Structure 1
Amino acid sequence: MMVTSRNLVAIFGLCSVSILFVFIIVVLQGEGLVIEQIVRASQRLTKKEDTVKENKIVAIPTKWEKFISASEVRRIKQGNEFIPTNDPVLIEYIRKQIAGPSEEPLFLFNPEQEIDQSQVGQSKRVDEILHHKTRGFYVECGAAAGERDSNTLFFDGARNWTGLLIEPDPEAYDSMLRRNRHAYSINSCLSPDNQTKMMLFEVAGERGGLANQDRAGPGGKGAANSAIQCFPIDAVLRALDVKHIDYFSLDVEGLEVAILKTFPWGTVTVDVWTVEFRTFKDSKMHPGLTRERYDAIKEVFDATGLYEVNGTLPAAVPGGIPSMGGLDVVYIRKGFV
């Protein structure tokens, strides 16, 4: 049988179609295997992700891992358990609440006033004791708005100091920030029992103070209560790594003695203290309670063995007891004198 050229073309075409068909089948089978592998891999990944989600609800990016968890924040705020003042989470939490010093010039609401606006001459007395020292460090607890009656404003403006301003009243604190004080600041109160907790604060301007406490100040009628975070003074100072303070002004309307008892006397030195001791009852100054608080403050300082009294401000009435007419008592560290 003779094979014509036409038959050869037909046979060649049929073979090509058969080969192509076989190739397509092989490719489809291969793709099926690939698809099956992809599906299986996806199932394994999904299962792995589900396992991760069971162990960790939210995967926090590595760069964000330094956030303090909600559980830790709740533990700090509630204060139901004692948290050591050197607890690293507590210290980091406090550090995040502190505002840094302003880099702008002081902005005073009453620029015509003298830079020394301390209530009864605290700045002048301390400046004399410290021999007009420059570049010192202060702490003022009860800093109010940072201008009127401020015991530390003078050192910002005239002696190039920095420091720490502690003020629990949120309105006063916001006003303080507008003054561009050259100091760290925190909107909190100091804990009277060395325990981190939330406490009620009577918002009453300069007469504000912790509610339901033995108030030394006259208080404010109809003052609104606000929940304020309170920290131990030791933890606050640790947050700034403070080991030495040139001047500490303590004016917290009645809790001075309690706070002094929690102070870390063994790890932080203070050269000069001014502590308010004048006491009110029913909005009137009470001589008997004033003397009791003066004596209680003296007892704390005497117990440290580190200080000697430098009188009161204003000065005591001639021939009278130290507390008569006084507002603050001044203490100086013995090693400094």
Structure 2
Amino acid sequence: MIKLSVLDQSPVSSGSTPKEALKRTVELAKLTEELGYHRFWVAEHHNTNGLAGSSPTLLMTHLASQTSRIRIGSGGVLLPQYSPYKVAEDAQMLENLFPNRIDLGLGRSPGGDALTRLALTDGVRKSLTEFPRQIQALKGHLEHNLPSDHPYYGVTAYPLSETRPELWHLGINKRGARSAAELGISFTFGHFIYSVGGQEAIRHYKQEFIPSSYQSKPKTNVCVFVVCAETTEEAEQHAKTLDDWLLKVSKGGDTTISSIEEVRNRSYSEEELKKISTNRPRMIVGNPAEVKQELIELQQKYDNDEFLIITNIHDYEAKKKSYELLAELFPQTSFLKETDENV
């Protein structure tokens, strides 16, 4: 049985507002909890008008308070912009408030262009190559076992908690998979970002996984765009707003999601049409039977434990319907008992 989870970037649709986007994220968390989804993750983006989720830990706190069962997580906290110690404190605060419900997904993305990144670090230049070291330090703070020669040995991350968040290493290649394996934490492959190389990355992660105090076995999920509707034609209609949005994101500037009508009235160059076609392998689009078959085939390809579903389309009602149809295709009731035991 395929286990389903959600990634929501709090996308802003044209004609709407960031406030409405965040409200819809909360509504979607409640809905997908009712449908039996396992996790609900939110993202971190900066200096972009089309994605309202700039502070995952703040949003996670609110989402966890508005739900009772579903795991709430980050997909992810962009660790290079922060102190591992401060992230550990935030994680332990969340664990104290919502024990056994917090996932901490960690990404190495710069979070924006060069100027935005400098603004995030207040002018301090940080190397992305430090990411594995930062995760190791974060683990040390959460486990309270920093080595005696560590520069911050003796500094304790409070408030102490009886439980720890699940740690997930986000990645799109074998380098990220190798890092997750060496650290002994879970691995997320971003198929929705880069649709090639994931099979090799996940295989490498599983082969090289080193058991840790966090987990004895490897655990994987794959994040993929999915647009599911009652008919193929309807799904394609909504997917065109995702096609257009991905094109806008690649150009920068306005990153709100255009409506079906706006997209229909837009003309694309040959180069843009080629880019849209190139992006299509990052998503699964179709009626329930088509989507089910493609997800099954994708799991057979990756041999992953879970899917993280992201649906960035303009029509919010159609977005909810897509998640509802997926839950009907892959009933999640068999996982509810497992989740209840952790609450």
The TM-score with structure 2 as length reference comes to 0.31
| Bigger Rg, structure 1 or 2 | 1
Higher relative contact order (Cα pairs below 8 Å, separated by 6+ residues) = 2
More helix by share: 2
